[in-house]
Amino acid sequence: MREGPDIARIASLVGDPARANMLNALMGGTALTASELALEAGVSLPTASSHLSKLMEGGLLTLASQGRHRYYGLAGPQVAGMIEAITGVAEAVGPKRVRPGPRDGAMRVARVCYDHLAGEHAVAMLDRLVARGILLRDDKEIRLGEIRPGQIRPGEIRLGPSAASYFSALGIDVGAKPRRPVCRACLDWSVRRSHLAGTLGAAILDKILSEKWARREKDSRAVVFSPPGKQAFERVFLG
Closest by CA position to 90, among listed 7, 14, 185: 14
Split at pLDDT 50, 70, 90, the class of 128 is: very high
**Range of lowest pLDDT (1-15, 88-102, 202-216):** 88-102
Q: Considering the chain, what percentage of its residues have pLDDT values greater than 90?
A: 53
CB–CB of 32/25 below 8 Å?
yes
Q: What is the pLDDT of residue 95?
A: 67
Residues 108, 187 share a domain: yes
CB–CB of 26/72 below 8 Å?
yes
Q: Could you say which of 31, 58, 75 is where a domain stops?
A: 75
Residues 173, 147 share a domain: yes
The residue-averaged pLDDT of 77-93 equals 84
- Is the pLDDT at 148 greater than 60, yes or no? no
- Is the pLDDT at 152 greater than 60, yes or no? no
| Number of domains, the chain | 2
Q: What is the pLDDT of residue 55?
A: 95
The residue-averaged pLDDT of 204-223 equals 93
pTM of the model: 0.71
Q: d(Cα 131, Cα 143) in Å, to the nearest integer?
A: 18
Split at pLDDT 50, 70, 90, the class of 153 is: very low
Higher confidence at residue 69 or residue 48?
A: 48
| Cα 146 off chain centre by | 21
Read off the CATH number of the domain in which 54 is found. 1.10.10.10
Residues 87, 70 share a domain: no
Q: What are phi and psi of 185, to 5 degrees?
A: -80, 130
Q: What is the pLDDT of residue 111?
A: 94
Residues 119, 183 share a domain: yes
Split at pLDDT 50, 70, 90, the class of 155 is: low
What is the chain's mean pLDDT, rounded? 85
- 1 in a domain, yes or no? no
